[in-house]
């Protein structure tokens, strides 16, 4: 998402290596893409095991039509807000480039101003929901429609806490909520509660946005907000080249990696996600799971039967596996260990699940 003229569809194309139309994207339909997560560890594992198939983890990006959350009339605003509420994370594209041919709609480039404007818009969208729900829930509870101890009482208490904060322009993510409260509020999909990655869309030199990055980090003051820069137009054009040409141009321009790698790493940090791997002759694959998720939850990512019939997990750290040279060698070196159902999965674990159904 982003304000008009921020170049959000350009950034979407750069990340997804697509060619969605830019400059006039204001319809109701969103652009969607499934992007493979770049991970050098998976590449190295494939070199070791020579599988018939290599499958990276995936991230789904949605380029929501329009600019301001509530712009374009009630129907378009409702559709836009609905799309945003289902997201795990919001990527806010902020303009940090000058252009004589495409001047900023506000007359000047000011990343801090644009960031603040979008944040205020998200807060107002949540405030509208909270006000309506508080009125309705308060009325229903006073009429005795919920017994004492019903979760709706806690729901009302939380919403009443949020209301003055939202009226003051503060996002819901500032509240230190218990996990039980987060589960209770999850159906709302509050926009100002979601982790946010701010992507400064720069000119060809991303270093030009370093000051703006620090400014927005200071303003956000929040571990749930990440900030990075990306030369959207340049990376979109690089994405249109074949791999050989792209690598040659990147080498000439001194670009070590495309912005997708940085964006995905920050997204994993904000969402507290990790990658684990399964390996073998058939397939080497990366999987995504919450940090310290139990082994049974990781198993369920592969198939529910594996979680249901879980016996144990054979686990080796990626670094130890590469150093030893293979699973047999890792076992001999005592680096391959057996773990039970509650084992907290760590980033880079290579896991073989044993199960019986």
State the CATH number of the domain containing residue 335.
Answer: 3.10.20.30
What is the pLDDT, as a whole number, of residue 188?
96
What is the pLDDT, as a whole number, of residue 256?
85
Could you give the CA distance from residue 59 to residue 275 in angstroms, rounded to a whole number?
12
What is the pLDDT, as a whole number, of residue 27?
55
Last residue of one domain, picked from the residues 200, 215, 230: 215
> 284, 46 in Cβ contact below 8 A?
yes
- In-domain check, residue 98: yes
- In-domain check, residue 251: no
- Asked if 192 and 341 sit in the same domain, the reply is no
What is the pLDDT, as a whole number, of residue 135?
95
- Asked if 297 and 204 sit in the same domain, the reply is no
Domain carrying residue 317: 292-355
Question: Domain holding 107: CATH number?
Answer: 1.10.150.300
Report the candidate in 104, 111, 114, 95 with the shortest Cα–Cα distance to residue 214: 111
Could you give the CA distance from residue 25 to residue 150 in angstroms, rounded to a whole number?
45
- Asked if 208 and 297 sit in the same domain, the reply is no
Q: What are phi and psi of 203, to 5 degrees?
A: -75, -160
- In-domain check, residue 258: no
- In-domain check, residue 259: no
- In-domain check, residue 302: yes
What is the pLDDT, as a whole number, of residue 289?
98
pLDDT by position in tens, the chain (length 357): 999 899 999 999 999 888 877 765 555 578 899 999 999 999 999 999 999 999 999 999 999 876 666 665 677 778 888 889 999 999 999 999 999 888 998 899 999 999 999 999 999 999 999 999 999 999 988 888 777 788 999 999 999 999 999 999 999 999 999 999 999 999 999 999 999 999 999 988 777 788 889 999 998 887 789 999 999 999 999 988 998 999 999 999 888 888 899 999 999 999 999 999 999 999 999 999 999 999 999 999 999 999 999 999 999 999 999 999 999 999 999 999 999 999 999 999 999 999 998
- Asked if 296 and 210 sit in the same domain, the reply is no
Residue burial 46-68, b: 16+ Cβ < 10 Å; e: rest: beebebeebebbebebbbbbbbb
Could you give the CA distance from residue 327 to residue 334 in angstroms, rounded to a whole number?
10
> 281, 335 in Cβ contact below 8 A?
no
What is the pLDDT, as a whole number, of residue 24?
54
Last residue of one domain, picked from the residues 215, 230, 254: 215
Q: What is the pTM of this model?
A: 0.88
- Asked if 207 and 297 sit in the same domain, the reply is no
What is the pLDDT, as a whole number, of residue 226?
94
- Asked if 20 and 163 sit in the same domain, the reply is yes
Could you give the CA distance from residue 109 to residue 62 in angstroms, rounded to a whole number?
25
Separation in Å, CA 193 to CA 106, 118, 210, 215: 27, 14, 26, 21
What is the pLDDT, as a whole number, of residue 65?
78
- Asked if 21 and 114 sit in the same domain, the reply is yes
Residue 70 CA, chain-centre distance (Å), reads: 22
- Asked if 87 and 199 sit in the same domain, the reply is yes
> 59, 267 in Cβ contact below 8 A?
yes
E strands, the chain, are: 31-36, 53-55, 58-63, 90-95, 196-201, 225-230, 273-278, 283-290, 310-317, 337-339, 349-355
- In-domain check, residue 168: yes
- Asked if 171 and 312 sit in the same domain, the reply is no
What is the pLDDT, as a whole number, of residue 28?
55
- In-domain check, residue 279: no
- Asked if 64 and 211 sit in the same domain, the reply is yes
Last residue of one domain, picked from the residues 215, 235, 255: 215
> 80, 63 in Cβ contact below 8 A?
no
The domain total for the chain is 2
- In-domain check, residue 263: no
- Residues paired with 61 in a beta bridge: 33
- Asked if 84 and 191 sit in the same domain, the reply is yes
- Asked if 18 and 163 sit in the same domain, the reply is yes
């Amino acid at each position: 998402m982003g304000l008009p003229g921020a170049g959000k569809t350009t950034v979407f194309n750069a990340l997804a290596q697509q060619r969605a139309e830019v400059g006039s994207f204001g319809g109701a339909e969103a652009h969607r893409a499934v992007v493979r997560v770049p991970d050098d560890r998976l590449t190295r594992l494939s070199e070791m095991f020579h599988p018939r198939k290599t499958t990276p983890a995936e991230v789904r990006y949605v380029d929501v039509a329009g600019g301001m959350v509530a712009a374009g009339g009630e129907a378009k605003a409702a559709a836009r807000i609905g799309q945003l509420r289902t997201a795990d994370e919001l990527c806010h594209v902020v303009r940090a480039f000058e252009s004589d041919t495409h001047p900023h709609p506000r007359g000047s480039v000011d990343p801090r101003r644009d960031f603040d404007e979008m944040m205020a818009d998200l807060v107002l969208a949540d405030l509208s929901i909270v006000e309506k729900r508080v009125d309705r829930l308060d009325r229903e509870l006073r009429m005795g429609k919920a017994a004492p101890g019903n979760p709706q009482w806690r729901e009302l208490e939380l919403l009443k806490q949020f209301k003055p904060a939202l009226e003051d322009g503060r996002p819901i993510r500032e509240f230190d909520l218990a996990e039980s409260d987060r589960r209770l509020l999850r159906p709302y999909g509050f926009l100002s509660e979601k982790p946010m990655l701010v992507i400064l869309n720069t000119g060809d030199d991303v270093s030009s946005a370093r000051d703006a990055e620090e400014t927005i980090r200071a303003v956000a003051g929040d571990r749930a907000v990440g900030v990075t820069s990306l030369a959207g137009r340049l990376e979109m054009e690089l994405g249109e080249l074949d791999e050989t040409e792209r690598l040659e141009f990147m080498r000439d321009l001194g670009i070590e990696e495309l912005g997708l790698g940085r964006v995905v790493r920050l997204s994993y940090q904000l969402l507290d996600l990790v990658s684990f791997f399964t390996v073998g002759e058939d397939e080497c694959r990366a999987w995504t799971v919450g940090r310290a998720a139990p082994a049974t939850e990781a198993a369920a990512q592969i198939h529910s039967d594996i979680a249901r019939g879980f016996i144990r997990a054979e686990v080796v750290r990626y670094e130890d596996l590469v150093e030893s040279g293979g699973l047999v060698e890792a076992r001999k070196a005592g680096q391959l260990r057996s773990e039970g159902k509650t084992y907290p999965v760590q980033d880079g674990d290579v896991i073989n699940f044993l199960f019986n159904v």
